[in-house]
Structure 1
């Protein structure tokens, strides 16, 4: 079998594997991702970046750029980004208003900083973004909730 044929075979296998896990349900969307022994401290953290149209716009630029969040979470925050399609469970759906009501900013920050075991979420601080940029991204992530669910 030629190199190109092998490549096509591997590509087809990857696509089939992707299709088999694509769309896997988000794992426990309301369950905290912060370990029990650290959750009180995380919940107590307050976002030092005020939510404003300017910080939300900056957060959007970071989410879609330097932070690379859109790769997994999608440009509309639904957890349907191109890289997220192969993850099981699927990435967090930030349009889920129930999630936003249940989780504090400090919990979201903890996950951005430390990653989330059992999911595809990896630590982004300081590898990709600063702590201040993470808080700014959280302001943008919160803007995905448009309803009163």
Structure 2
């Protein structure tokens, strides 16, 4: 039986929890992940450890409280061309994939957010099929200019 717990700003001083979430995402995002500092930044935003609009982490656990999956949503406080929610991360433990955990986390996120959501996915990432199953589609091609 999977249980999902929602963590947000009330846990902003729970450094161990935040570190565990960051490390879980860093390990389990694998080839489609970000540098650990980017993941830390997103978690600090979600938990309002920085000046931000906040967000939350939804964490799936098994009956023994072993972390199986993590979803992170950031609130943008915007409407229109930029959705109110940015679905920053979704990862499932590599030993527990294809068991419906990602779908349960996705449904939890949809049930616990108001307004539109956006997410970024690599075209080669098989998780794209999961997102499309839940109604996500390609709206824009994102382009970035990186500055040092």
Give the structure-2-normalised TM-score.
Answer: 0.26
Higher-RCO chain (CA-CA 8 Å, sequence separation at least 6): 1
Greater C-alpha Rg: 1
Q: Which structure shows the bigger proportion of residues in strand conformation?
A: 2
Give the structure-1-normalised TM-score.
Answer: 0.26
Q: Which structure shows the bigger proportion of residues in helix conformation?
A: 1
